[in-house]
Structure 1
Amino acid sequence: MDIEKALKGLDLPRKVRLLTGSALFALWPEPEIGLAPLKLSDGPTGVRGAELRGGVIACVLPNATLLAQHWDTALAREVGEVLADEAAAQQVHVVLGPTINLHRTPLGGRLFEAYSEDPLLTGTLAAAYVQGLQDKGIAATPKHYVANESETERRTVSSELDAKTLREVYLLPFEIVVEDAAPWAIMAAYNKVNGIPATEHTELVEGVLKGEWGFDGLVMSDWFAAQSTAESANGGLDLVMPGPGGPWEDELVAAVEAGEVAESTIDDHLSRLLLLASRTGAFGAERKWPADVPAPDSEVRREQLRRFAAGGMTVLTNNGVLPLQDPRVALIGRHAIDTVAQGGGSAGLRPPHVISIADGLTSLLGDRVSVVDGVEVRMRYAAPGPGVLRDIRATTFDASGEVLASREMEIAELAAYGGWAQGAASIEVSGEVVLDEPTRMLAGVRGFGDWTLEVAGEQHATRLAWADGIVEEALLKPPFWTTEVLVSPGDRITARVREASALVGLITQPVPRPPADAIGAAVRAAREAEVAVVVVGLTDEQETEGFDKTTLALPGEQDALVAAVAGAAKRTVVVVNAATPVLMPWLAQVDAVLWAGLPGQEAGDAVAAALLGDIEPAGRLVTTFPRADSDALSVVPANGALPYTEGTAIGYRGASEPLFWFGHGLGYTTWEYGPASASFVDGVVSAVSLELTNTGERSGREVVQVYLRPVSEPVRLIGWAVADVADGETVRVEVPCSSRVQRTWDDGWHPLRGGELLIARGLGDIRVTLPADQE
């Protein structure tokens, strides 16, 4: 590899051409200098590939918050290794993850993709994840740099925050991951920071990231985020994505020729791109891709993903009903049957399967489980799940009606943008309904465009008008139209759309029944069982890229369902299939709550293992749960600005009597904290040591957490350690403590002195208090 020689071999237009993507997820090759095409893929909990919908089959891991609830760097590294294998199987060089923005407010729609509300926990886990990926030659791309904690007006909003808050909280995860793991790429965010777009923020990119921290990797834009030419090129951005097109290309050549951008700046950008290519095997020596990577549905992967999911689940409350002891169970709820494995947006991908909670629990308990559907949980209709349609086919046509391409599909939905259907004048999607007898169903379409629908001998036409310029709506919340029809076995549903934009698909589902009917059936089943397990949660309507939540309440009549079942059942366990906090008005009425997150493709088997105690759900919360919507910080900008008025006091740092504290989790055993002592280096806490005893009747995993409560600053996590301890055993636990959070910013870093150390099982269960001063 000779980057200097390569630069000298290219004229300015060819250099600049390489600095904008060649496609949605690809970079240009340059054979003359030995540069092969680079492939990128969205992450961060799966490697989707180039297709926005219906692409390659890939592992769907548990979501980031569920993985973070292990508080385990070894597991985070193992996750990175799995994703590296998945990328290598697809010959992908760069994974666009991890997401290391913070959970500033639980109303943020994209929190499921990010680790936690705490900068130290987030940065430490992210560093391990990056190491797992890059040790196998796949580039990681921590994102989104920086202060990108909500989705409302995300392409234009200015996050307004002072230097202290920026340095101590929002830059810190990036600082940790850069200094500890040296990622090969970082993604600049959509938003502005104090009025300056993140893609052209010279102070933060050139000054802090590349200057202070010595980052030698590549800075790419988020997709379509770069809007300027000279400003972004001079501000430190190295690569504009996607392409072709965008604000660079010919405009950047002209800017260099006009003296607005130095050619040495172009050379620096290209040097970083070639270094990325060299590190990932696309420049210099040809990369040899492995041929023996485990398949997404192989037993080795399924075991890993079950363990990743179940071990991170969190027991929020438990009066002794968990783990279940082989009872007769009434399993209730739409999420039990249609379990949500992943969130919406760029993190979404196509799994080999999703094990529902109903299938997972039934596989272990057999006929001791009765399954009852619950109330509706979606306000908008989605494409049908597996087994609803068969012989699904999509066909594209040119303007004259000639067939361009035709493919068999596994799902009745595809992307009209960025995939094989792009550029078609019209698209047809069809499938045969799987039925045993004539049934009244909802049939319809989703996606912008002019539609015709044929079903059961009827033809319908509708226009779903394009909301000009709202890309997120086109991809993530497309409009839909349905009609109720009598469908018979063998009937085929066919839809054709003209002027398609972004996403097109069929809708086929049973006619929804009234909530009272669903709740009545659930109550009857609950009375007959020893334990009622009610599964509730959110969907990708709430947990998605592109949109924030307007409430923390469960959608539909799920709260009424839980309350009714709890009033009828002998014992009630609630499983929450969601990544981010929800309100729980029924909490005092139920016997246990298991926080299950978005568990990935092995969801049902993982939940069953956690409920029965085959795998201890030893997770600890990574977000503070508010009691009411009014306790959550706003995500709605005013006049284009979103002020971070809480300063450094986000999450647990500013909380008072939340529903559940950050760090909370009961597991399946009990713990006694013994004598503790602190060690100091240069007056800063370097470690805490204590005796820990498992006083329960089961082996278990504890997460010993250490917080610093300074004299005049918010409390903050400074260290933690994970301990696996057999029942009755006493061990000594050493908790390393980070100096990075024992400092304060005031035109430079200054150490925090004084206060007290809190050794805790979460901030709601403080076990030992020590002075934070060295005696």
Structure 2
Amino acid sequence: MTSRIEKLVDQMTLEEQVSLLSGEDFWSLPAISRLGIGKLRVTDGPNGARGGGSLIGGVKSAAFPVGIALGATWNVGLLEEIGVALAEEVKSKGAHVSLAPTVNLHRTVSNGRNFECYSEDPILTAKLAVGYIGGLQSQRVSATIKHFVGNESEIERTTISSEIDERALRELYLVPFEHAVKDAGTWGIMSSYNRLNGTYTSENQWLLDQVLRNEWRYDGIVMSDWFGSHATAPTVNAGLDLEMPGPARDRGEKLVAAVEAGEVSRDTVRIRVLNILRLMERTGALDDRSAFEEKAEDRAEHRALIRRAGAEGAVLLKNADDILPLVAQGTIAVIGPNARTAQIMGGGSAQLNPHYRVSPWDGLAAALGVERLRYAEGALNNRFEPAVTGSMAVDYFNNATLTGEPVFSERLNGGEVMWFYPPGGKVDLTGFSARLGATFTPEHSGAHNVGVYAAGYARVLVDGVVIADASAAHWQPGRTYFEEGCDEVVGLVEMTAGRSYEVVVEFVSKPARVLGISALHVGIGRPLGDEAIADAVAVARDAETAIVFVGRNGEWDTEGSDLTSIALPGRQDELIRAVAAANPRTIVVLQTGGPIEMPWLGEVAAVLEAWYPGQEAGNAIADVLTGAAGPGGRLPQTFPIKWADHPAQSQDREVYPGLDGKVRYEEGVFIGYRHYERHGIAPLFPFGFGLGYTSFALDDLEVDASGFEADGAVTVSVTVENTGKRPGSEVVQLYISDPEASVPRPGRELKAFEKVFLGPGEKLRITLPLDARAFAFYRVEAKHWLVEPGTFVVRVAQNAADEGLTAEISRQNRLMLPV
């Protein structure tokens, strides 16, 4: 029987079919009114639904915890709840597809996008992604799991070739996508920008056709990342259904011509269109005739979920003498650059305009009363000068010389702007210039930094004098605006408090490198000196307890820019040590998108990693600090003692960060905790580690291997007991070892886990099933998975470095499994 979508595709002209294989605009596909086909709309992103606006401003949205914070929860059920909530957010923006989740692995500790991804481990990542996708798609909103595949760094990200051997691909990097297809039935996948072993993933036939569609039997769509498609026939023939964004660049008339020339068959186009129509049918877009409207729906139930998830992802790394939770009385020094600034998300395409931001100061004031709190900033952690605030007048010119009469004028709010659409419909974004003007009145006298970075050429004048110059004569490619912008250029100017200064920014667009972005950021900031640390020390000395809120922010943890260090930016290490010397009851609260070095660890009483937990950040952090909620997180990524210990560290730049257009995954399957165990490198904190406000014990390990010889199936049972005096959660982690393997295998590999919540003295018997793949490795030459005969070690533990409880099981025969 012919299906509805088959009937529709056969009624279309070739031109109509081709129109559905590329976007109409930045966020939607065209409708075909003649056939009653509605418009499919998509929206970013992983920690919320931004809608169709710019990355800056736009309709407000709920900001959920970022990927690594969700990874730290180790809670599949929670991820499913969040998926359901995010589906409601997507619908509030009039969209049908969410461009999420992000499941690339933490190959390094310095990937600028680690914050957006769940974990260094493929199984943890896969299970969480399955929960997230299940929740999202249960509400008829499609997931778009990304980035397929090998996008583990942001350096030369749109062109670099990730050189990854097939075993590492099969055992690590493909695993989350495989589970998303086979277990969650994801409806969408996004190809990555990079090449995979020399071929762009958007036109990689082995990846998109052989593996994804033939082996995994995927029936959803594959869309390009934005501007991540580079050809016509090669992408269509390889399996890329949708080129984004629109209007068409390599499709449209070019694809019609390729069909007529015999480079792409009509049958192939038909298959691609059927995939699009199937997605539209699944999401209801096919029959969606509702007026397009984006709403800012601030839901109480989403506020509560975000707050709960933020606390559950917080990882307690140290708690000497049970200093946490905080005592009921006494003054608290609230110190640091992140104390009164709510760091709720990372940067790049995942960012959005939140309904609100709760800072740690706000959260503690609400929980404890502001009268108990004392504040000092102490140090800065900004990467760029703070964006100028207030209204800016802008004149636009349809030339690159800022001459003649403006074609359009408007007022913008703040010192950062990204131009995705022609202002007023009158500006040609392929070749324009703009003059922006504002007034700046400093609060303090003294030296001020004036900074500018741009995807385009720009310079900043203060009272008619050029202070920061990134114009054409000085512009150099940098690590801003998705690698389309320059690094920040900073100049110094003396200012007097209370006096008004005229700030003028001259901007000229430039030819696109890849993405075609025009953008600008202008900021003015005042450096902090020794007196700021001295003030913090004084405040700490007079308080019963000092809490130092430090870390990074979305300027550092951002798409398009890897970190050059995992040391805390600025003078934050110095601040922590000075405060700890003044007050032995010093607690450090970290907000980062990944590991940092902690040279002061032995000098402080407690350390809490809070990540970027969304718009309820301060409330979630306060809940954990006060004991209203337990710290429910476990590390989803190993924290090394120093940067040089991490898996991709090498004297060979081709291994990392890349050289001559290649980044070679030399470490193979030994990333994350596998690397540290193999080389005998002690981490600062191991994968899976986290403390709580109670204690847990594992006992009575039982392994049922009665079916192991036949089909490789094993069932593992263990008793978990809360041996402390407070309710809390524990993550039971199951690792497998194959010490007799014929190929190098990790000393232990996570294969199953379960999070349990128990009251004081409560016990629970849990069962963890394992299939044959849990014991197998991939044989590249034979193209199958193999479980070898021999003895395997089953380990149930509380983290990757924990000896835990172990048992051995054996098998006599080889077991070959298909891909």
TM class, shorter-chain normalised? over 0.9
2:657 corresponds, among 633, 636, 652, to: 636
What is the TM-score normalised by the length of structure 2? 0.88
**Is 2:735 the counterpart of 1:735?**
no
CA shift for structure 1 position 735: 2.8
The 3 A distance-change label for structure 1 pair 762 and 334 is same
CA shift for structure 1 position 443: 5.2
Give the whole-Å Cα distance in 2 for the aligned partners of 1:547 and 1:758: 38
AA aligned to 1:668 is: Y
2:372 corresponds, among 368, 379, 382, to: 368
SS at match of 2:41: strand
Q: Which residue of 2 aligns with 1:670?
A: 695
CA shift for structure 1 position 154: 1.4
2:717 corresponds, among 668, 689, 709, to: 689
**Is 2:770 the counterpart of 1:764?**
no
Q: Which residue of 2 aligns with 1:307?
A: 308
AA aligned to 2:10 is: K
CA shift for structure 1 position 686: 3.7
- Deviation sequence 1:74-123 (CA, Å, 0-9, x none): 11011111211111111012111101111111121111111101111111
Whether the aligned pair in 2 keeps the contact of 1:455 and 1:491 (CA below 8 Å) is: no
2:588 corresponds, among 574, 584, 601, to: 574
The 3 A distance-change label for structure 1 pair 679 and 733 is same
CA shift for structure 1 position 685: 4.9
1:4 corresponds, among 6, 12, 35, to: 6
AA aligned to 2:784 is: G
- Deviation sequence 1:337-390 (CA, Å, 0-9, x none): 223211111111111222111222122222211111022212422425xxxx44
Q: Which residue of 2 aligns with 1:234?
A: 237
Give the whole-Å Cα distance in 2 for the aligned partners of 1:629 and 1:461: 33
Q: Which residue of 2 aligns with 1:749?
A: 785
AA aligned to 1:745 is: Y
1:708 corresponds, among 718, 736, 740, to: 736
CA shift for structure 1 position 325: 1.1
CA shift for structure 1 position 518: 2.2
AA aligned to 1:199 is: S
What is the TM-score normalised by the length of structure 1? 0.93
AA aligned to 1:28 is: P
Whether the aligned pair in 2 keeps the contact of 1:378 and 1:541 (CA below 8 Å) is: yes
AA aligned to 2:703 is: A
- Deviation sequence 1:154-180 (CA, Å, 0-9, x none): 122222222211111111111101011
Q: Which residue of 1 aligns with 2:666?
A: 645
Question: Comparing 443-452 with 173-182, which one deviates more in the overlay?
Answer: 443-452
The 3 A distance-change label for structure 1 pair 492 and 277 is farther
CA shift for structure 1 position 724: 0.8
- Deviation sequence 1:538-565 (CA, Å, 0-9, x none): 2233311112122211111211211222
CA shift for structure 1 position 391: 4.9
Give the whole-Å Cα distance in 2 for the aligned partners of 1:191 and 1:671: 44
Superposition pairs of residues 46-65 of structure 1, within 5 angstroms: 46-50=48-52, 51-65=54-68
The 3 A distance-change label for structure 1 pair 612 and 458 is same
CA shift for structure 1 position 393: 5.9
Give the whole-Å Cα distance in 1 for the aligned partners of 2:490 and 2:296: 41
Give the whole-Å Cα distance in 1 for the aligned partners of 2:292 and 2:619: 32
Q: Which residue of 2 aligns with 1:558?
A: 572
CA shift for structure 1 position 682: 3.2
Question: Comparing 341-350 with 28-37, which one deviates more in the overlay?
Answer: 28-37
The 3 A distance-change label for structure 1 pair 77 and 325 is same
AA aligned to 2:304 is: E
Give the whole-Å Cα distance in 1 for the aligned partners of 2:288 and 2:340: 50
The 3 A distance-change label for structure 1 pair 228 and 332 is same
The 3 A distance-change label for structure 1 pair 234 and 282 is same
Give the whole-Å Cα distance in 1 for the aligned partners of 2:729 and 2:566: 30
Question: Comparing 731-740 with 581-590, which one deviates more in the overlay?
Answer: 731-740
Aligned residues: 767
SS at match of 2:765: strand
The 3 A distance-change label for structure 1 pair 506 and 621 is closer
Whether the aligned pair in 2 keeps the contact of 1:161 and 1:194 (CA below 8 Å) is: yes
Whether the aligned pair in 2 keeps the contact of 1:495 and 1:506 (CA below 8 Å) is: no
Give the whole-Å Cα distance in 1 for the aligned partners of 2:280 and 2:478: 34
Give the whole-Å Cα distance in 2 for the aligned partners of 1:681 and 1:257: 60
Whether the aligned pair in 1 keeps the contact of 2:167 and 2:778 (CA below 8 Å) is: yes
- Deviation sequence 1:120-164 (CA, Å, 0-9, x none): 111111111111111112111000111211111212222222221
Whether the aligned pair in 2 keeps the contact of 1:390 and 1:434 (CA below 8 Å) is: no
What is the RMSD computed on CA atoms of the aligned residues? 2.8
Q: Which residue of 1 aligns with 2:260?
A: 257
1:602 corresponds, among 616, 620, 643, to: 616
Q: Which residue of 1 aligns with 2:545?
A: 531
The 3 A distance-change label for structure 1 pair 419 and 186 is farther
The 3 A distance-change label for structure 1 pair 681 and 22 is farther
Give the whole-Å Cα distance in 2 for the aligned partners of 1:18 and 1:7: 10
Whether the aligned pair in 1 keeps the contact of 2:592 and 2:612 (CA below 8 Å) is: yes
Whether the aligned pair in 1 keeps the contact of 2:460 and 2:505 (CA below 8 Å) is: yes
Whether the aligned pair in 2 keeps the contact of 1:57 and 1:351 (CA below 8 Å) is: yes
CA shift for structure 1 position 274: 1.3
Structure 1 stretches lacking a partner, 5+ long: none
CA shift for structure 1 position 434: 7.5
CA shift for structure 1 position 612: 0.9
Give the whole-Å Cα distance in 2 for the aligned partners of 1:460 and 1:471: 20
AA aligned to 1:601 is: Q
Superposition pairs of residues 485-504 of structure 1, within 5 angstroms: 486=495, 491=500, 495-500=504-509, 502=517, 504=519
Give the whole-Å Cα distance in 2 for the aligned partners of 1:513 and 1:556: 10
The 3 A distance-change label for structure 1 pair 205 and 457 is closer
The 3 A distance-change label for structure 1 pair 619 and 737 is farther
**Is 2:665 the counterpart of 1:658?**
no
Give the whole-Å Cα distance in 1 for the aligned partners of 2:307 and 2:486: 30
Question: Comparing 732-741 with 643-652, which one deviates more in the overlay?
Answer: 732-741
The 3 A distance-change label for structure 1 pair 591 and 91 is same
AA aligned to 1:423 is: D
AA aligned to 2:754 is: A
Give the whole-Å Cα distance in 2 for the aligned partners of 1:276 and 1:491: 56
Whether the aligned pair in 2 keeps the contact of 1:442 and 1:507 (CA below 8 Å) is: no
AA aligned to 1:40 is: V
- Deviation sequence 1:202-242 (CA, Å, 0-9, x none): 11111111111111111011111211222111111111111
- Deviation sequence 1:270-291 (CA, Å, 0-9, x none): 1111111222222136469999
SS at match of 2:186: coil
The 3 A distance-change label for structure 1 pair 616 and 428 is farther
Q: Which residue of 1 aligns with 2:335?
A: 332
Give the whole-Å Cα distance in 1 for the aligned partners of 2:553 and 2:485: 12
**Is 2:549 the counterpart of 1:512?**
no
AA aligned to 2:527 is: P
Give the whole-Å Cα distance in 1 for the aligned partners of 2:196 and 2:439: 51
Q: Which residue of 1 aligns with 2:815?
A: none
- Deviation sequence 1:410-453 (CA, Å, 0-9, x none): x4422123475763644455556587788875556542556576
SS at match of 2:145: coil
SS at match of 1:447: strand
2:183 corresponds, among 180, 193, 199, to: 180
Q: Which residue of 2 aligns with 1:342?
A: 345
Superposition pairs of residues 196-595 of structure 1, within 5 angstroms: 196-284=199-287, 286=289, 295-296=297-298, 298-319=299-320, 320-326=322-328, 327-365=330-368, 366-384=370-388, 389-391=389-391, 396=396, 400-402=404-406, 404=408, 406-407=410-411, 409=413, 411-418=414-421, 420=423, 423=428, 425-427=432-434, 429=436, 442=449, 445-449=452-456, 462-465=469-472, 466-467=475-476, 472=481, 479-484=488-493, 486=495, 491=500, 495-500=504-509, 502=517, 504=519, 507=522, 509-514=524-529, 516-595=530-609
The 3 A distance-change label for structure 1 pair 428 and 285 is same
- Deviation sequence 1:725-757 (CA, Å, 0-9, x none): 101222222234354332211120223553211
Whether the aligned pair in 1 keeps the contact of 2:335 and 2:376 (CA below 8 Å) is: yes
